[in-house]
Amino acid sequence: MPAPDFHLDTSSSRDVVLRIATRGRQILRNPISNRGTAFTLSERERLDLSGLLPSRVTTIEEQLRRTFAQYRRSPSPLAKFIYLSQLRDRNEVLFYRLLSENLEEMLPIIYTPTVGEAIERFSHEYVGSRGLFLSIDRPDLIEQSLHNYVPDPDEIDLVVVTDSEGILGIGDQGIGGIQIANGKLSVYTAAAGIHPRRAIPIVLDVGTDNLGLLNSDLYLGERHARARGEAYDDFIDAFVTAITRQFPNAMLHWEDFGAGNAHRILHRYSDSICTFNDDIQGTAAVVLAAVLAAVRLTGVPLRQHKVLVYGAGTAGVGIADIVREAMAHEAGNPADYYPQFYAFNSRGLIVADNQGVRDYQQPYARQRSEVEGWELENPSRISLLETVRAVQPTILIGTSAQPGAFDADVVKAMAQGCERPIILPLSNPTSRSEAHPTDLLEWTDGRALIATGSPYGTLRHGEVYHTIAQANNALIFPGLGLGVSAVRAKRVTDEMIYAAAAALAGLVNEYRPGAALLPSMNDLRLVSATVAMAVARTAEEQGLARAPLSNPIDAIYQRMWKPDYPRLEVLNKGD
């Protein structure tokens, strides 16, 4: 049988082999095989590349210097995003090497916030895109489309899928959501070494309610309103069935689904397949890690804290769930701890007799009798300040995208009843943050323990330099995916999510004055390996590991691909 033109053997992440039978310019057009001026003179002769490249052979380090300078010259964040995308489509190894060595600088470009602009401009700037596009109007093509993307089911460890309804802070973006799936996979690779050829980015095109897209002549997706109800559920079920049949060892990662579907889909499939929702579980885990580190500093057991969640959407309720479960874990009893939580939606404090309370918010609704003695201006819309004064919370979490919601009155009222208030304004970008950490330090006389959704770096208050932790999901999901793939876990459980958060918190030395509550984004490879170890160990303890690890440290390390040009095996045509 004739040899395939290219075959990349990624069964060993530390010894990737590229078997290549093609010759000439086609090699330079394929991002898997292309290494540009790094081809040796011998390789150029054997592969018919002589004369197709400048004479000098360069190292990958020299290529990095050149590409980094070109990246820096790009005039805007979107231009930088486009440059990196084009580099990835030209030379995959070089792209990931550049990204992994400059991850803290480039993460805001390939991921939030810049990816949001790239998503909005997807159809207008389209120059090709990696990923798989599955349409609700052609569900019969799902399995064939998966096969077209990758024919070997053993080669896939991870599937990242979005339906683009809840993209970052910009909502329904139709088919452009493929870019968020690509962004996530880039982080999986750069932070945890998951080989890019062992993962698939997918967008489910179920239509869009974005009138701007529907009225644009350039929009590339299905031109109808977003599907709902039974048609939507049937399509999701057909997709899950096809994925689990074709890629039985893959973790299915749900990304940026709307609040109405995200919890429902996760609950529907979490007990039967290996699946994970980053907006719910990833966000929750990284916030829990920050909370655990902060709680250690307060000296007050977690189960005694009062938690106020301002913005009880997909992320907010996910955070409340995992912190509540951590309280029960700490206490060693099954108590539900719901009374420790106060949750807000757009109508104020969620009270059981209010209208518009979603199913997943109901467990956190307070009874009307609980608020009857409070000083209230309008009992049907209880404000954040009124709740803080009445409850005196010790942990304040913001996932509302309401800029300035944690104002001086709210923060000072909280600080009056709490020695070390834990305040986490998590909304992105900075223009939507509930508070600026400089103000939080000022209003609490430097006593606040802070983590934010956006990067703020180090701030000075008095004589102390405070490093503000960024509660970025990249601290959790890459390591989780690595741990799951290492043992081929059957499912992702709450215990595995908790183990990931605890492992992350364990990397923090929060006792130094002004220390960050989370590790630096510069340490993502270490963080991911540590999280992966905890997740893999927990999967084995729960009997969910299809491939238990005899030497966990070595096994995790060996699975972390480093972006180096693969070893070449040059085949003859027809071999």
Outline where 384-490 has alpha helix (H): 384-391, 408-416, 437-443, 477-487
**Residue keyed to tokens 């690595």:** 482
Q: Do the domains 6-58 and 278-561 sit in the same CATH topology, yes or no? A: no
Amino acid at 207: G
User: Which residue of the set 80, 96, 184, 498 is catalytic?
Assistant: 184
Boundaries of every domain in the chain = 6-58, 79-93+100-257, 278-561
CATH of domain 6-58: 1.20.1370.30
Whether 306 is a known active-site residue: answer no
| CA torsion, ordered 62, 63, 64, 68, to nearest 10 deg | 110
- 331: tokens are 């206490």
CA distance 527 to 504: 7
For 31-85, write each residue's pLDDT tens digit: 999 999 999 999 999 999 999 999 999 999 999 999 999 999 999 999 999 999 9
- Smallest Cα–Cα separation from 565: which of 26, 63, 21, 55? 63
pLDDT by 10s per residue, the chain, length 575:
334 566 777 766 777 889 999 999 999 999 999 999 999 999 999 999 999 999 999 999 999 999 999 999 999 999 999 999 999 999 999 999 999 999 889 988 998 788 888 899 899 888 777 899 999 999 999 999 999 988 777 789 999 999 999 987 688 999 999 999 999 999 999 999 999 999 999 999 999 999 999 999 999 999 999 999 999 999 999 999 999 999 999 999 999 999 889 999 999 999 999 999 999 999 999 999 999 999 999 999 999 999 999 999 888 999 999 999 999 988 887 678 999 999 999 999 999 988 888 888 999 999 999 999 899 999 999 999 999 999 999 999 999 989 999 999 999 999 998 999 999 999 987 888 999 999 999 999 999 999 999 889 899 999 999 999 999 999 999 999 999 999 999 999 999 999 999 999 999 988 889 999 999 988 999 999 999 999 999 999 999 999 989 898 999 999 999 999 999 999 886 55
User: Which residue of the set 111, 342, 364, 498 is catalytic?
Assistant: 111
CA distance 496 to 472: 18
Q: The CATH number of 79-93+100-257 is which of 3.40.640.10, 3.30.499.10, 3.40.50.2300, 3.40.50.10380?
A: 3.40.50.10380
CA atoms within 13 A on the CB side of 299: 4
For 467-514, write each residue's pLDDT tens digit: 999 999 999 999 999 999 999 999 999 999 999 999 999 999 888 899
How many helices and strands in the chain, by DSSP H and E? 21, 17
What pLDDT was estimated at residue 400? 93
- 330: tokens are 């700490």
Whether 310 is a known active-site residue: answer no
Give kind and range of the element (H or E) at residue 44: helix 41-46
What pLDDT was estimated at residue 573? 65
Q: What's the fold here for domain 278-561?
A: Rossmann fold (3.40.50)
**Residue keyed to tokens 């088919």:** 175
What pLDDT was estimated at residue 3? 42
Strand order, beta sheet including 307-310:
348-349, 341-345, 307-310, 395-398, 422-425, 449-452, 469-470
Q: 3-state SS of the chain: helix, strand, coil percent to 5?
A: 45, 15, 40
- Smallest Cα–Cα separation from 291: which of 531, 535, 504, 526? 504
CA distance 575 to 239: 37
Strand order, beta sheet including 158-162:
132-135, 199-205, 158-162, 251-254, 275-277
What pLDDT was estimated at residue 8? 77
What pLDDT was estimated at residue 12? 67
E strand spans, 357-508: 395-398, 422-425, 449-452, 458-461, 464-467, 469-470
Q: Give the rounded distance of the alpha carbon of 377 from its chain centre.
A: 40
**Residue keyed to tokens 């899950």:** 240
